[in-house]
Amino acid sequence: MGMLQNKVAIITGASSGIGRAAALLFSAEGAAVVLNARGSEALESIAENIRTKGGRVRVVAGDASRPETHEQMVAEARASFGGLDIAFNNAATVGPIKPLADVAVSEWQETLAVTLTAAFLASRCQIPAMLERGSGAIIFTSSFVGTSVGLPGMAVYASAKAGLMGLVKGITADYGARGIRANALLPGGTDTAMAGDEAQKEWAAGLHAMKRIAQPEEIANAALFLASPMSSFVSGSALFADGGNSAVK
């Protein structure tokens, strides 16, 4: 029996990096998964990987900043697997890397749409489905950037990621008594496409007390904790999985 046996999970940003690692891990732990990203080809490849191992999976390609994408994912979870228990709202974008006064309004709006508004749209659809089951766990991928530190040129990203903490606390206040848990996962630098080239990864490693960046599977393990019964009394919290980054700033 896996830690997520008989559970149904939605994972956004699932085509690569942390989302892909979480999709494979949650499925291995027994969950039926509904996976989302913009590109269908990468999603289908992950889905085929899961199916060959006996897992249950559906794919919904689409833009996470659009409400209909989340409506379709929840509908798929209900129709294919009977409901929804877990949501890992992981989709995000780095946005512009430049001083704030140089940021265009359109760049600000796009970054918040993909990272923060998408999380609102997701929760708005997911919570009613979880209430039907009597409980649920919602996880947002935030960041140490904007919550414990600021980095040059990353004010827009920091604002979007910090906003997720307000969403976590609001959902906890509104729905904690009804069995819904909401938490934020705050990774440090992680070896994904967003981490940049080897020089950028080496620079990021130096920010961490552990002097390395994470592998996506390490962050997925932290997400599994927040999704599983092991964290049954954890809600409204920020879980730093950042290699000690926030501790040494």
Q: Which residues are catalytic?
A: 157
- At which residue do the structure tokens 């999380």 appear? 119
Whole-number Å distance between alpha carbons of 57 and 42: 14
Q: Two tokens at 161?
A: 């990621």
> In b/e form, how buried is each residue of 34-69, taking b as 16+ CB within 10 angstroms?
bbbbbeeebbeebbeebeeeebebbbbbbebbeeeb
Answer yes or no: are the C-beta atoms of 38 and 12 closer than 8 Å. Answer: no
Query: What is the chain's percent helix, strand, coil content, to nearest 5?
Result: 50, 15, 35
Which of 151, 214, 228, 155 lies closest to 186 in space, CA to CA?
214
By residue count, the chain amounts to: 249
**Residue 233, φ and ψ in degrees, nearest 5:** -115, 25
